[in-house]
Amino acid sequence: MRAWIAGGVSAALIAGVLVAAGVGAQNAEAASPAPGFTVAPQKDLVAGEDLSLELTFTSAGAAAGDQYNVSAGLVIPAGVTYVGASAGMTAPKIYAAGKEFTTAQDCAAIGLEAGSAGKCRVPAGKQYLVFENITDLPVGAKQQATVTLRPNAQTFPVGTTALDIVGSAYTSNDPSRLPQFPGSTAKGSGTTSAPGISKTNVPVKAFRVAKSEPSPEGELLRGIHDHTTTYTLRISHTAEGDLSNTQVTDFLPAGLEFLGTGGIDHTTNANGAQGAVEYPGAARLTATPAPAGGTGAAGAASSVETIKADQALADQYGLEVGKVYTKVTWNLGTLLGLGDPRDTTAGVKQNYASAPGTSGVFEIRYRAGIPLFENTLDFGATTPSATSGDQAANLDNNRGASTRHGISGDPYSAQTQRNVAAVSGSYAGKKTESSAAHSVDAVDVRLLKSVSTKPNPDPANASDWSRNASFTQGQIASYRLNIATSEYVGATQGGAPDRLVDDMADGVCPAFPAGTAITGGGSTPKLTQGGIDNPGAPMSASDWNAMLADRGVSSDCSWPSTHTPASDLKLAGATLTSLSYNPSNGHFSIELALAPADALAAPNREHNVVYTVMQSASYTEDDGQSGATSSGDRVTNNAKVTLTTDARPELDGIVSKEGAKADGREHAADDSSATLEAALSGMQKRVLPRDAAGQTTAANVASATGWVD
């Protein structure tokens, strides 16, 4: 059985319900261009684990037209067992080394070798998996599937380079025919595409490291006292044997302060001029809490050292040459494959081929935050030694550039803080390593947009809101804009370029009740046609409503809305400045003003704006969609905010040793989106094999038996 998205896909599929293996002479010339095809392995396969391959099939475009019955072949080494595949894929036919196929394909290109009499042959030491009738590819479509394999850990140990995979994918331009290629059941129909080919080598490692941090949308508010965050390094290691000289290293960029496991402060002269605290009235860093979830397996770091990245480090870890980093190291010594006391998940050796191995897993956690100024190599008179740990939670060397959001003159120019973690060690005398990177943007103004389809959702209840919700025609949805300021600034909405706007994609329209608060007073917002960035002349409410009616927009979105009950609708936390409609793409735009105006005027403030929309029954303009809103459709709205930020008074006159100012005024901007998505309808696709003459009968078609997945 296949599950399909309704809409543009369904018409192609309905035509292809009867699929035959086909008979007749083989046609050596491809009937259509090759589909796009990639075989992507999981990140850092650890010895003993199962290997996950993601297969991606992409339409060859308009030149190919709709393509059907996608099929694929995978040439993999012997000593690898097929485990399973994602829903929609049946078990493959598996051909051993030496099997030959009559074909016109370029054997070497698809991972096979030339055999006898022009045939293709599965090479020695290889096996060939053939998957048929996986999916369909209408023009512009992309489909994905997953295949799971189990490499023998003894045959493919840590450090092997022998795990090569060659994949080939094929389509048919006839919905009733399977593609014909080596190993397929089709006998040749002249409807088969050229092959899409993908080759990959999968290194086998002893480690895998994953790095995470919980800031929503990858945005971390500045402030090493009030907005610290927890970084987690999750290390998986093979259970097939022990590792020695195990070491975890993390490189934090200059704009990210390493605060260790919390509760420590080695500052003596912050910013090179401020004494024990970052600014007057600030707390000592001893108030830093422990990492969320605890410190993990390693505890305090073995060494903390401020360095400048050279070319070798840049090449190895993707650091920037000449930039300052805090290098944090945990020396873990011997790591037992089985039964290491630091593991939170115990490792299990592979039992090939019946059971996979399970990697041992442990975690390291630490606190970090965004300070006023970047770290430098200059600690003043004395630089603490790396092994003392005194370079952690130490603001003495925060003498560099400002980390401020918008400092470059571009309100959107939040500074990205990218850090890289690596784990290394020796396994059976060979060095092995894995690395991972994580980035956050350092912001002073953060906007998080979310959506709810609950009646009258609570703005303060996080469980009522999400970035994605289900679209239902004719129902009200609510959007929430959560805006927050950092420890170092307050924010207000002044004149240009300050603004708070939402661009609503075709498929929803704003629904505001009578009595909605209007910016500057009055009973009607500014109403225009043409879009909020290029509005036409203001129009009256009656002209606005007539224009929307002509476009087929529900009167629920007229001004004011006619929706009943009116209690379903709201605007809270802001006043309404303007509404605009763009007939060229069906988008509505709204402009809002914060209410109260000083809602974010102080540091560490948070404010919610909530407003309602109608989920439309149809699109009002093409905009890449057509007709009624339907199953699987996605409507994404994008909100933007630009505010004036003023540094807190305690920062007046504070300047880093390199001359960066902490005080003053800037503009800071952010954006965020939320999506409504209609649930998918579905259909089943099954195959009715043809008889030896390539025929089906009405009785066969009508019968419930004989059809296969």
Q: Name beta bridge partners: 168.
A: 73, 197
Question: Burial letters for 582-620: b for 16+ Cβ neighbours within 10 Å, e otherwise?
Answer: beebbbbbbbbbbbeeebbbebbbebbbbbbbbbbebbb
Q: What is the pLDDT of residue 535?
A: 87
- Name the 3-class secondary structure at 116: helix
Tokens encoding 576: 């309404």
Lowest mean pLDDT among 210-214, 246-250, 679-683: 679-683
Helix (H) or strand (E) holding 14: helix 8-14
**pLDDT of 693:** 53
Among 450, 481, 477, 482, smallest CA distance to 465 is for: 450
Strand order, beta sheet including 142-151: 36-41, 51-58, 142-151, 80-85
Q: Residue 636: what are its φ and ψ, rounded to 5°?
A: -110, 125
pLDDT > 90 in the chain, percent: 81
Sheet (strand 219-221) strand order: 219-221, 430-443, 415-427, 243-253, 324-335, 303-308
Q: Please name the amino acid found at residue 307.
A: I
pLDDT value, residue 687 = 62
Fold observed for domain 8-205:
Immunoglobulin-like (2.60.40)
Burial class (CB in 10 A: 0-12, 13-18, 19+), 90: middle
Q: End-to-end distance of the chain based on CA atoms, in angstroms?
A: 5
The predicted structure's pLDDT at residue 226: 98
pLDDT at 193: 94
Query: What angle is formed at CA 374 by the lines to CA 417 and CA 388, rounded to 5 degrees?
Result: 100
Across the strands, what pairs with 421?
250, 436
pLDDT given at position 642: 98
Q: What is the rounded CA–CA span in Å between residue 442 and residue 414?
A: 6
- pLDDT at position 8: 37
Q: Say which CATH architecture domain 207-443 belongs to.
A: Sandwich (2.60)
Q: What average pLDDT does the structure give for the chain?
A: 91
Q: What is the pLDDT of residue 105?
A: 87
User: How far apart are alpha carbons 560 and 568 in whole angstroms?
Assistant: 13
Q: What amino acid is encoded at 421 in this protein?
A: A
Q: How far is it between the farthest Cα atoms of the chain? A: 94
Tell me, what's the pLDDT at 707? 63
pLDDT at 106 exceeding the cut of 60: yes
Q: What are the Cα distances from residue 225, in Å, to 265, 368, 371, 380? A: 12, 10, 9, 23
Closest listed residue to residue 424, CA positions, set 237, 157, 299, 153: 237
695 — phi, psi (to 5°)?
A: -115, 155
Query: For 247-289, how does the pLDDT look when each residue is reduced to its tens digit (9 = 90+)?
Result: 999 999 999 999 999 999 999 999 998 999 999 999 999 999 9
Amino acid at 98: G
How many CB atoms within 10 Å of residue 560?
18
Residues 6+ apart with CB under 8 A from 39: 53, 54, 55, 74, 165, 167, 198, 199, 200
The DSSP secondary structure of 360-421, one letter per residue, reads EEEEEEEEEE--SB---S--SS-PPPGGGTTTTT--TT--S-B--TTTTS-TT-PEEEEEEE
Q: Given this model, what pLDDT does residue 47 score?
A: 98
The total number of residues shown for the chain amounts to 709
Q: Whole-angstrom Cα distance, residue 545 to residue 563?
A: 14
The tens digit of pLDDT for each residue in 463-519 reads 999 999 888 888 999 999 999 999 999 999 999 999 999 999 998 999 999 999 999
Is residue 604 within 8 Å of 644, Cβ to Cβ?
no
- Distance CA(288)–CA(265), nearest Å, equals 9
Residue type, 109: A
Strand partners, 582: 587
Token couple for 366: 């630490």
Q: Above pLDDT 70, what percent of the chain?
A: 90
User: Tens digits of per-residue pLDDT, 537-573?
Assistant: 999 999 999 999 998 899 999 999 999 999 999 999 9
pLDDT digits (tens, 9 = 90+) for 145-184: 999 999 999 999 999 999 999 999 999 999 999 999 999 9
The CA-CA-CA angle for residues 431, 435, 437, to 5°, reads 165
Q: How wide is the angle at C-alpha 439 spanned by C-alphas 644 and 403, nearest 5°?
A: 40
Residue 572 pairs in a beta bridge with: 610
Which residue would you say has higher pLDDT here, 60 or 690?
60
79-94 average pLDDT score: 94
Question: What are the sequence ranges of the domains in the chain?
Answer: 8-205, 207-443, 446-678
Round to whole Å and give the CA distance between 572 and 405: 27
How many whole angstroms separate alpha carbon 483 and alpha carbon 370? 19
| Closest of 484, 492, 447, 483 to residue 646, by C-alpha | 492
3-state secondary structure of 659: coil
pLDDT of residue 133: 95
9: confidence class by pLDDT, cuts 50, 70, 90: very low
Please give the average per-residue pLDDT across 411-425, as a whole number. Answer: 96
* Cα three-residue angle 145-148-152, rounded to 5 degrees: 155
pLDDT confidence of 705, banded at 50, 70, 90?
A: low
Q: Within 10 Å of residue 29's Cβ, how many Cβ atoms?
A: 8
Asked if the model's pLDDT at residue 318 lies above 50, the reply is yes
What is the distance between the alpha carbons of residues 661 and 642, in angstroms, rounded to a whole number?
A: 21
Answer whether 210's CB lies under 8 Å from 234's CB.
Answer: yes
Alpha carbon 353 to its chain's center: 34
- Asked if domains 8-205 and 207-443 share a fold, the reply is yes
Q: Concatenated DSSP letters for 15-59? A: TTSS-B---S----S-SSPPPEEEEEEPSSEETTSPEEEEEEEE-
Q: Coil, strand or helix: which one is 578?
A: strand
Q: How many CB atoms lie within 10 A of CB 334?
A: 12
For residue 31, what are the contacts with CB-CB under 8 A and spacing of at least 6?
172, 173, 190, 191, 192, 193
The bridge status of strand 415-427 relative to strand 243-253 is antiparallel
| 373: nearest Cα among 250, 266, 218, 224 | 224
Residue 136 token pair: 């369909």
What is the C-alpha to C-alpha distance for residues 707 and 709, in angstroms, rounded to an integer?
Answer: 7
- Separation of alpha carbons 272 and 268, rounded Å: 9
Model pLDDT, residue 2: 30
- Is pLDDT at 424 greater than 50 in this prediction? yes
Six token digits for residue 301: 């770091």
pLDDT of residue 295: 87
Q: Report how far residue 172's alpha carbon sits from residue 687's, in angstroms, rounded to the nearest whole number.
A: 15
Nearest to 285 by CA among 295, 305, 270: 270
Beta partners for residue 94, in sequence order? 129
pTM strictly above 0.95? no
Write 537-544 long-range contacts (CB < 8 A, 24+): 544/579, 544/581
